[in-house]
Structure 1
């Protein structure tokens, strides 16, 4: 089940879409190495469609039903490469992570334009929340600072620690 996005409305979706289009035009859109070649080709349009009218759940379903993720990947143990199965949760992890990243960019862009801040909250219940995630709960961030950080750190954790890694369940809302 995806995150509960409290500030997801038509204005946020428009801002999210502008952020996706910005990265696509700059060729800086994150392309997961777990995507197949076809998946990598279709990813920009799938992501854009999801931010315009869908959810992280609908994006994950598209990735799964279209079989756009690899079934196996290379990993390393004790410095030696080996092949392992891609986790069954890979589609939802990728979809939630990237949808949330663009949602946060969308609300940060809006916050900057509307002179509002962003407050971090838990968008999904976690039975074992990470201490670093708990430390961010209720934190208020300046929209411009968050937007700059998320734009600068594509596909990796940003300096502000948001979002704080895959499956954290944290997101933000306009305040």
Structure 2
């Protein structure tokens, strides 16, 4: 998968990402995928924190590699199926992006910016029409932040859809 282009990823946003992660950990609201094996579950939070502090979603994916940190199968409709080859990239990219979006929203709110704008942060060879229709839309930073904080481990109501490549940016 292609790399994300996080337009507002600076030290302030990274710090806010860490605050969001730590708040989830402290309130026992931190998402750890059931697709991870015991080693993956043990290392996941520290790998995310390290990647947010020092690098990006690609480094996070390299740390949470498929061979070492995922179960060989998972249950789909009650039956075991082989773990998809892109399981690591889906998990790492989507969770890094969720914390990035939460931090951008928190930054906007702290600076009296009421809305953030949806943009394509990762190019895709095939993008869903529903995703393309959202690009350029403005969304309440507070509503999006609340939605992402309350939809841990499940699809959020507002955005982003898993693997959509969409993120948000500060409107200037």
C-alpha distance in structure 1 between counterparts of 2:154 and 2:75, whole Å:
19
TM-score normalised by L of structure 1: 0.91
Alignment of 1:115-126 (within 5 A): 115-116=112-113, 117-126=115-124
Per-residue deviation, residues 103-126 of structure 1 (Å, max 9, x unmatched): 000000001001122110011122
- Cα deviation for residue 66 of structure 1 reads 7.2
Give structure 1 stretches of 5+ with no counterpart.
none
Alignment of 1:11-30 (within 5 A): 11-30=12-31
C-alpha distance in structure 2 between counterparts of 1:64 and 1:109, whole Å:
30
- CA 1:38–1:124 in structure 2 vs 1: closer, same or farther (change >3 Å)? same
C-alpha distance in structure 1 between counterparts of 2:39 and 2:9, whole Å:
29
Question: 1:9 matched to which residue of 2?
Answer: 10
Alignment of 1:113-152 (within 5 A): 113-116=110-113, 117-152=115-150
C-alpha distance in structure 1 between counterparts of 2:67 and 2:87, whole Å:
14
Give structure 2 stretches of 5+ with no counterpart.
none
Q: Which runs of 4+ in 1 moved over 3 A?
A: none
C-alpha distance in structure 2 between counterparts of 1:74 and 1:8, whole Å:
35
Question: 1:64 matched to which residue of 2?
Answer: 65
Asked if the contact 1:16/1:103 (under 8 Å) is kept, the reply is yes
Give the one of 84, 106, 110 matched to 1:109. 106
